[in-house]
Amino acid sequence: DLRNGLRPLGSTPAEFEQDLLSNLYYRRGTTVESASAQDAYETLALTVRDRLAARRARTAAAQYDSNPRWVYYLSAEYLLGPQLDQNLLYSGTTDLAPAALKALGFDPAEVAALDVEPGLGNGGLGRLAACLLDSLATMDIPAVGYGIRYDLGIFKQSFENGEQVEKPDDWAFQGDPWEFPAPDDRNRVGFYGHVGPEGWVPGEVIDGEPSHLLVPGYGTETVNFIRLWRARATEASFDLSRFSAGQYAEAVDQAVRAENISKVLYPDDSTESGRELRLKQQYFLVSCSLRDIIRRFRFRNHDWAEFPAKAVIQLNDTHPTLAIPELMRLLVDEEGLDWDQAWSIVRQTFAYTCHTLLPEALETWPVAMLGRLLPRHLEIIYRINDGLLGEVRSRFPGDLDRVRRMSLIQEEPERRVRMANLAVTGTFAVNGVAELHSQLLTATTFHDFATMWPDRFRNVTNGVSPRRFVRLANPGLSSLITSGLGTDAWLRDLSLLAGLAPLAGDSAFRAQWRTEKRRAKAALGLGDPGALLDVMIKRFHEYKRQQLKLLHIITLYHRLKSDPGRFGVPRTVLFGGKAAPAYTAAKSIIHLINAVAATIAADPVTSGQLRVVFPPNYNVTLAEKIIPAADLSEQISMAGKEASGTGNMKLALNGAITIGTLDGANVEIRDRVGGENFFLFGLDATGAAALRGSSYQPRSYYDSDPELKAALDAVLAGAFGGVGHDVAQSLLDRDEYLTLADYRSYVDAQDEVSAAWQDQERWTRMSILNAANSGFFSSDRTVADYLDRIWRATPVRP
Ligand code: 26V
């Protein structure tokens, strides 16, 4: 640390260039003359990382001195996005770096293009984790994120004949220069075995090897970190005698099996062994992370009763819920605390965030599998369940049905452990991720628990990092905002965006705003920057209703063909997103979108009026290019299904206007930007639930709406290369997410969108007001809410 005489790193161009050069020679081991672009990239990363590491040292010293309450975030996913641009910005070297590269003869653009995004997450849940860590560091809160260092991240998506094809994402193939591996800091993890008089005797052990990624705060000295665990075979697992006997595969079999634990994000769970692998991943994360948290606690503290004052552990969905029985095991079996003392500590330490409303997304594990893999944990879960059910019986005598519903164990059709019930039982706070979501959780999913423990339930509405999703993604608009507000303080206090509202009435400012939007569209490479860019970017899932957008596109196409003169507003519709590899219905929707896009592109009548584009492999890198260019944000899930959404916030902050249902955080966005600046359509959550509860007849909508009928008939008749029959048929037969019920209202709202677009001054006013009134959706505000309602931690400034 600096108190020990660490040499400060310079901030002049000459000093940066000098550091770049010495890193190229001494750490990369090459010379300017022989360096490849990859050498230059790795060297640049090291040079930038060093500057963050110096701040990390100062942060660590301050945090150690103050022995604060730490926020520990446990998450199976982190969707961090590209690191280079962020770390340049956060280290104040955005201008220095390209200049120094050029001075040494490298091409900065070629070097920057080598930055690979670590795709260690699926979608919203993983990206939220990244935004929260960004905000925690920016707000100087002592925090550590724990996760898994998957060798293969979210698959790479490509299209073959319009169908999604998945390829492995070997993101760290070239090594990851942002990472600090710590192979000397391994933790041993047990699996299988039995529980004897001496306690749990695991039948198999593996090592967890950590590495760190630095998480810098913006506009402050603080640098926190993420600790990612990677599975390593223990030394003993290599079978030398088999190897010597020529049995090469068998010799490494145990080692390979051990290291498979951190091989892939979300292993295919269509087989029993795939499901067990996922459970192993969860326990691996939990076991390594808790040992680390306890080790850190012991640096400065001795009395277990102090633990909750020094650590709050947030469970990001149920994936890390085994931390509850694991901490019980450590406290009772290894530390010798009695059960009640241990349970009190556990209950004061953990908090749980729920991210869904879909019943099928609530995790359960077969009792048989859990008992085989983690026999002691199953015993502990049973004992927690005894306590829980005892409390239920004494509060609600004779209510057997309630006992059955609340039990940690589901009995039928197979005995399974309900992880969400365990998470609610073992925590002091449970939160949903938007107002509506939190209300629905206490009214439906967790109704029984909310009746028994009303104080446990809270809301913390999601947010997004304005640094990544405005400043880095949209530098042009960011400069305009800064000049409009006369300050860049909005980057750390997004409520200041409200100061843009008066500028919506200033025609010169509106013209500049439009210029930035068009510039972003041109940068995306979309032909006509005058066309309305209509964007639907998110994972593919039937509840999100990409199929509804598709029916609208087909309707526009039909209108265009029947009366090309009447059409009016040129549109480009852009889709981005991946479907889970085993999710057939979602993959069919992707196929149909590509088929419709091809048919429309090949039809001369549509030229310049209607385009559908679907760039493959939507990820954070691509999101940062699309979001600034978007005019219209599609947030069209069936009401009551989308927990929050965060893309909706990113798009509104960049001036896109939302067309959406009253679902998730859309409700709060509309409250803030105003109903006149939001295109609302469709059933609300109550109406949707009521219609689903009655005998919903999708065909009645088809029969009574000629445009809807024409759209579905076209698909059924094979008008789009014969693709999509299954999609149309499923809408007519079941339509689980009420697509047909909402179709007319949606198409009418889209007609209002087109009318609004024709008045560009009005549209720009709406766009500016969307950004101006979305300051609430900063993840800094989300973290402030977590601090106030759950974490109760305070800043430590280096
Ligand atoms: C999980 C599964 C598991 C198998 C069945 C299909 C299915 C569908 C959805 C999920 C949800 C996983 C959790 C998740 O990513 N939730 C997202 O969290 C975001 C951050 O809070 C939130 O904005 C999104 O609305 C929510 O979908």
pLDDT single digits (tens) 236-273:
888 889 989 999 898 888 889 889 999 999 878 888 88
Task: Identify the domain containing residue 56 by its residue range.
Answer: 1-64+90-112
pLDDT confidence band for 114 (50 / 70 / 90): very high
pLDDT single digits (tens) 481-500:
999 999 999 999 999 999 99
Per DSSP bridges, beta strands 70-74 and 311-316 are: parallel
Contact 210, 288 (CB under 8 A): yes
Residue of 539, 545, 571, 765 marked catalytic: 539
Q: Is 582 close to ligand 1, i.e. is its CB under 6 Å away?
A: no
- Is 538 labeled as catalytic in the residue annotation? yes
**Once rounded to an integer, what is the mean pLDDT over residues 195-206?**
94
Apex CA 741: angle with CA 740 and CA 743, to 5°? Answer: 60
Apex CA 626: angle with CA 621 and CA 628, to 5°? Answer: 110
Closest-lying ligand 1 atom to the alpha carbon of residue 123: 15
Residue of 227, 650, 672, 781 marked catalytic: 650
As given in the structure block, the two tokens for residue 24 are 């190229």
In a domain, residue 263? The reply is: no
Rounded to the nearest 5°, which phi and psi values hold at 225?
Answer: -150, 160
Q: Is 664 close to ligand 1, i.e. is its CB under 6 Å away?
A: yes
Query: What CATH number corresponds to the domain at position 557?
Result: 3.40.50.2000
Answer yes or no: do 690 and 567 share one domain.
yes
Q: What is the DSSP letter of 6?
A: P
CA distance linking residue 267 with residue 269, whole number of Å: 6
Residue of 544, 587, 591, 765 marked catalytic: 544
In a domain, residue 797? The reply is: no
Q: Is 359 close to ligand 1, i.e. is its CB under 6 Å away?
A: no
- Is 578 labeled as catalytic in the residue annotation? no
Q: In this predicted structure, what is the pLDDT of residue 530?
A: 85
Q: In this predicted structure, what is the pLDDT of residue 601?
A: 94
pLDDT single digits (tens) 353-378:
999 999 988 999 999 999 999 999 99
Per DSSP bridges, beta strands 532-537 and 429-432 are: unpaired
User: Look-up: residue for tokens 């000295």?
Assistant: 221
- Is residue 335 pLDDT above 60, yes or no? yes
Question: What distance in angstroms lies between residue 126's CA and the mean position of ligand 1's atoms?
Answer: 10
- Residue minimizing CA distance to atom 4 of ligand 1: 361
Question: What distance in angstroms lies between residue 358's CA and the mean position of ligand 1's atoms?
Answer: 8
Q: In this predicted structure, what is the pLDDT of residue 372?
A: 98
Q: Of 240-249, 278-287, 316-325, 788-797, which range is least confident? A: 240-249
Q: In this predicted structure, what is the pLDDT of residue 774?
A: 98
pLDDT single digits (tens) 14-55:
999 999 999 999 999 999 999 999 999 999 999 999 999 999
Please list the residues that pair with 276 across neighbouring strands.
none
Answer yes or no: do 446 and 558 share one domain.
no
Answer yes or no: do 96 and 125 share one domain.
no
Q: In this predicted structure, what is the pLDDT of residue 567?
A: 72
As given in the structure block, the two tokens for residue 599 are 């048919």
- Residue minimizing CA distance to atom 7 of ligand 1: 361
**Once rounded to an integer, what is the mean pLDDT over residues 722-736?**
98
- Is 355 labeled as catalytic in the residue annotation? yes
**Once rounded to an integer, what is the mean pLDDT over residues 312-330?**
98
Residue 413 preceded by cis peptide, ω within 30: yes
- Residue minimizing CA distance to atom 9 of ligand 1: 361
- Residue minimizing CA distance to atom 6 of ligand 1: 361
Cβ neighbours of 401 (radius 10 Å): 10
pLDDT single digits (tens) 573-602:
999 999 999 999 999 999 999 999 999 999
pLDDT single digits (tens) 448-478:
999 999 999 999 999 999 999 999 999 999 9
Answer yes or no: do 502 and 647 share one domain.
yes
Residue of 58, 149, 280, 355 marked catalytic: 355
pLDDT confidence band for 3 (50 / 70 / 90): low
Answer yes or no: do 48 and 161 share one domain.
no
Query: Given ligand 1 and candidates 644, 648, 651, 786, which is best to mutate, with the most ligand atoms within 8 Å of its CB?
Result: 644
In a domain, residue 261? The reply is: no
pLDDT single digits (tens) 682-712:
999 999 999 998 899 999 999 999 999 999 9
Q: In this predicted structure, what is the pLDDT of residue 5?
A: 74
Q: Give the max Cα distance, the chain.
A: 84
CA distance linking residue 433 with residue 636, whole number of Å: 18
Q: Is 123 close to ligand 1, i.e. is its CB under 6 Å away?
A: yes
Instruction: Please state, rounded to an integer, the average pLDDT across all residues of the chain.
Output: 96
Answer yes or no: do 425 and 567 share one domain.
no
CA distance linking residue 476 with residue 513, whole number of Å: 9
Question: What distance in angstroms lies between residue 746's CA and the mean position of ligand 1's atoms?
Answer: 24
Q: In this predicted structure, what is the pLDDT of residue 2?
A: 56
Residue type, 592: L
Q: Is 125 close to ligand 1, i.e. is its CB under 6 Å away?
A: yes
- Is residue 782 pLDDT above 90, yes or no? yes
Q: Is 646 close to ligand 1, i.e. is its CB under 6 Å away?
A: yes
CA–CA distance from 383 to each of 328, 334, 388, 389 (Å)?
Answer: 11, 17, 9, 10
**DSSP letter for each residue of 347-393:** HHHEEEE-----GGGS-EEEHHHHHHH-HHHHHHHHHHHHHHHHHHH
Answer yes or no: do 104 and 127 share one domain.
no
Answer yes or no: do 594 and 626 share one domain.
yes
Closest-lying ligand 1 atom to the alpha carbon of residue 645: 23
Answer yes or no: do 442 and 497 share one domain.
no
- Residue minimizing CA distance to atom 16 of ligand 1: 355
Residue of 49, 492, 538, 552 marked catalytic: 538
Q: Is 358 close to ligand 1, i.e. is its CB under 6 Å away?
A: yes
Q: What is the DSSP letter of 281?
A: H
In a domain, residue 54? The reply is: yes
Number of domains in the chain: 3
In a domain, residue 259? The reply is: no
pLDDT single digits (tens) 540-554:
999 999 999 999 999
Question: What distance in angstroms lies between residue 751's CA and the mean position of ligand 1's atoms?
Answer: 31
- Is 539 labeled as catalytic in the residue annotation? yes
**Once rounded to an integer, what is the mean pLDDT over residues 629-640?**
98
pLDDT confidence band for 4 (50 / 70 / 90): low
Closest-lying ligand 1 atom to the alpha carbon of residue 128: 20
Question: What distance in angstroms lies between residue 355's CA and the mean position of ligand 1's atoms?
Answer: 6
Answer yes or no: do 590 and 636 share one domain.
yes
Contact 661, 681 (CB under 8 A): yes
Question: What distance in angstroms lies between residue 644's CA and the mean position of ligand 1's atoms?
Answer: 9
Closest-lying ligand 1 atom to the alpha carbon of residue 541: 8
Answer yes or no: do 597 and 706 share one domain.
yes
CA distance linking residue 653 with residue 498, whole number of Å: 11
Q: In this predicted structure, what is the pLDDT of residue 129?
A: 98
Question: What distance in angstroms lies between residue 541's CA and the mean position of ligand 1's atoms?
Answer: 10
In a domain, residue 306? The reply is: yes
As given in the structure block, the two tokens for residue 140 are 């100087």
Please list the residues that pair with 228 across neighbouring strands.
147, 211
Query: Given ligand 1 and candidates 314, 355, 445, which is best to mutate, with the most ligand atoms within 8 Å of its CB?
Result: 355
**DSSP letter for each residue of 29-81:** ---TTT--HHHHHHHHHHHHHHHHHHHHHHHHHHHHHH--PEEEEE-S-EE--
Question: What distance in angstroms lies between residue 600's CA and the mean position of ligand 1's atoms?
Answer: 32
Query: Given ligand 1 and candidates 265, 356, 465, 584, which is best to mutate, with the most ligand atoms within 8 Å of its CB?
Result: 356
Q: Is 361 close to ligand 1, i.e. is its CB under 6 Å away?
A: yes
Apex CA 575: angle with CA 569 and CA 578, to 5°? Answer: 170
197 versus 591: which is more confidently predicted?
Answer: 591
As given in the structure block, the two tokens for residue 515 are 């210029």
Residue of 47, 445, 646, 764 marked catalytic: 646
Q: In this predicted structure, what is the pLDDT of residue 268?
A: 80
Question: What distance in angstroms lies between residue 363's CA and the mean position of ligand 1's atoms?
Answer: 12
- Is residue 1 pLDDT above 60, yes or no? no
In a domain, residue 192? The reply is: no
**Once rounded to an integer, what is the mean pLDDT over residues 133-154?**
98
In a domain, residue 572? The reply is: yes
Question: What distance in angstroms lies between residue 631's CA and the mean position of ligand 1's atoms?
Answer: 25
pLDDT confidence band for 629 (50 / 70 / 90): very high
| Element holding 316 (H helix, E strand) | strand 311-316
Whole-complex ipTM: 0.95
Q: Is 642 close to ligand 1, i.e. is its CB under 6 Å away?
A: yes
Q: Is 356 close to ligand 1, i.e. is its CB under 6 Å away?
A: yes
Contact 73, 793 (CB under 8 A): no
Answer yes or no: do 101 and 152 share one domain.
no
Question: What distance in angstroms lies between residue 640's CA and the mean position of ligand 1's atoms?
Answer: 13
